[in-house]
Amino acid sequence: MKPESGSLSLIRVWEILFAGLFMILVWQAVVWVTQVESFILPGPLAVASAFVNQFALIWHHALITAVEVLAGLLLGVTAGILTALNLTLSERGRKLIMPALVMSQTIPVFALAPLLTLWLGYGLASKIAMAVLIVYFPVTSTFLDGLANTPKGYLDLAHTMRSPNRSTLMQIRIPAAIPSLTSGIRLAAVYAPIGAVIGEWVGASNGLGYLMLLANGRVKIDLMFAALLALCILTITIRAVVVLLCNRAEKWSGLSERN
């Protein structure tokens, strides 16, 4: 049997903690050496104290960003999966829609943010839409790729077993595409917060992106950094959960190299 990953992940936790500690030390060293003003670059201690003192405020905004990210992730991944399945079933659809999809990727998502705010308002909807837009394409294209690259031997086997197309799709092609899909979802988990925060920067009254702009405007740079820290923690947490689920799915599929 393959070795358990328990001891491995413990080593990785230490590595991450060590890297974090090292970065904080470098940061503090820069602040000491350059004697930079705290409204340009506050030290780690100042940021930590802002994080603790303003925790309730940060928590309130973090929850809103988390809702936007999770909703965007869920909707974007679902839409991506459904699109890939539909394009797999219809060759004409693939020929018509794929070029449009690829073309759409040349539009920077930043450029769409003001439009989405105009159309969907300053509330959650425009941020969720941003996250959906940014998540949708990687999920669609990786899953579509996986569905198109089912090992030929499996399809030969299904053919000689007189399998209807639908059964082949449901029982062979989709499970065989799981590693591709999960690689897309892993990317999506990192991209979704970017979408939500861009949305908040363009126009919002809530969320960590809004809090960062607000703190910046009031020269509360320590709070701005604390909000950034909260955003990092949020992204890492969401990614960790998504990676865990993806690893499980891959392990089930028996196609993972890493389990």
Partner 1 sequence: MVAPNHTIPGLRLSGEFSYNERPLFRDLVLELLPGSWTCLLGSSGIGKSTLLRLIAGLETGGSFSGSISASDDLPVDGRVAYMAQSDLLLPWLTVRQNVSLGASLRRELQDHVKTDYLIHRVGLEEYMSSKPGQLSGGMRQRCALARTLMEDTPLVLLDEPFSALDPATRRQMQALASSTLQDRTVLLVTHDLAEALRLGRRVYAMTQGKLQQFDLPTCQSIRELDDPAIMDIQSRIFSVLNA
Question: Would you tell me which residues interact with partner 1 (CB under 8 A)?
Answer: 1, 153-154, 156-164, 167-168, 171-172, 175-176, 178, 252-255
Q: Which alpha helices (H) appear in 105-207, and where do they start and end?
A: 109-120, 124-148, 152-160, 165-168, 174-176, 178-202
CB of 160 to partner 1, least distance (A): 4
222 touches 181 (CB < 8 A): no
* Cα separation, 160 vs 171, whole angstroms: 15
Nearer to partner 1, 177 or 198 (CB): 177
Nearer to partner 1, 167 or 237 (CB): 167
Nearer to partner 1, 22 or 252 (CB): 252
Nearer to partner 1, 217 or 254 (CB): 254
* Cα separation, 20 vs 228, whole angstroms: 15
DSSP-derived 3-state class of residue 4: coil
Q: Which residues contact 28 (CB under 8 A, 6 or more apart)?
A: 43, 44, 45
Nearer to partner 1, 176 or 227 (CB): 176
CB of 249 to partner 1, least distance (A): 10
What the block records as the tokens of 211 is 């809090």
* Cα separation, 82 vs 98, whole angstroms: 14
Distance of CA 259 to the CA centre of its chain: 22
CB of 98 to partner 1, least distance (A): 23
68 touches 120 (CB < 8 A): no
Nearer to partner 1, 13 or 89 (CB): 89
CB of 175 to partner 1, least distance (A): 5
